[in-house]
Amino acid sequence: MKRIIAFFVSLVLTVSCIAGCSAPKQAEGKAKIIAAIYPIYDWLSHLTEGSETTGLSLLADNGTDIHSYQLTADDMMQIQDCDLFVYIGGESDNWAKDVVESMKKNGSRAKAVSLMELMGDKAKEEEHIEGMQEENEEEEEKTPDEHIWLSLKNARYLCSELTKTLSESYPDDKALYETNAEKYDKALAAMDGLYAKTLSEKKRDTLLFGDRFPFRYLTDDYNLKYYAAFAGCSAETEASFETVAFLASKLDELQLPAVITIDNSDRKIAQTIINTSKSNSAQILTLNSMQSMTADKAKTEGDYLRIMEKNLEVLQQALN
Structural domains of the chain in order of their starting residue, each with its CATH number: 202-319 (3.40.50.1980)
What distance in Å separates the CA atoms of residue 180 and residue 46, rounded to the nearest whole number? 7
- The pLDDT-based confidence of 78 (bands split at 50, 70, 90) is confident
Closest CA to 31 of 7, 9, 5, 57: 57
Rounded mean pLDDT, 282-289 = 96
What distance in Å separates the CA atoms of residue 51 and residue 172, rounded to the nearest whole number? 10
Contact by Cβ (8 Å): 250, 256: yes
Which of the given ranges, 183-187, 233-237, 239-243, has the highest pLDDT on average?
Answer: 183-187
User: Who wins on pLDDT, 182 or 105?
Assistant: 182
Largest pairwise CA distance in the chain: 68
Q: How many CA atoms lie within 13 A of 95 on its CB side?
A: 21
What distance in Å separates the CA atoms of residue 62 and residue 296, rounded to the nearest whole number? 9
pTM tops 0.85: yes
Asked which of 31-40, 57-66, 121-130 is least confident by mean pLDDT, the reply is 57-66
Judge whether residue 213 has pLDDT over 50. Answer: yes
Judge whether residue 20 has pLDDT over 90. Answer: no
What distance in Å separates the CA atoms of residue 29 and residue 160, rounded to the nearest whole number? 26
From residue 187, alpha-carbon distances to 50, 75, 194, 302, 314 in Å are: 18, 32, 11, 15, 20
**Type of residue numbered 48:** T
231-251 core/surface letters (b: 16 or more CB in 10 A; e: else): bbbbebeebeeebbebbbbbb
Rounded mean pLDDT, 143-150 = 94
What distance in Å separates the CA atoms of residue 90 and residue 146, rounded to the nearest whole number? 5
- The pLDDT-based confidence of 71 (bands split at 50, 70, 90) is confident
List residues bridging with 144 in a β-sheet.
125
Judge whether residue 63 has pLDDT over 90. Answer: no
Judge whether residue 1 has pLDDT over 50. Answer: no
Angle at 231 between CA 228 and CA 236, to 5 degrees: 100
Judge whether residue 254 has pLDDT over 90. Answer: yes
- The pLDDT-based confidence of 91 (bands split at 50, 70, 90) is confident
- The pLDDT-based confidence of 22 (bands split at 50, 70, 90) is very low
Rounded mean pLDDT, 186-190 = 98
What's the pLDDT score for residue 248? 97
What's the pLDDT score for residue 94? 81
Judge whether residue 138 has pLDDT over 90. Answer: no
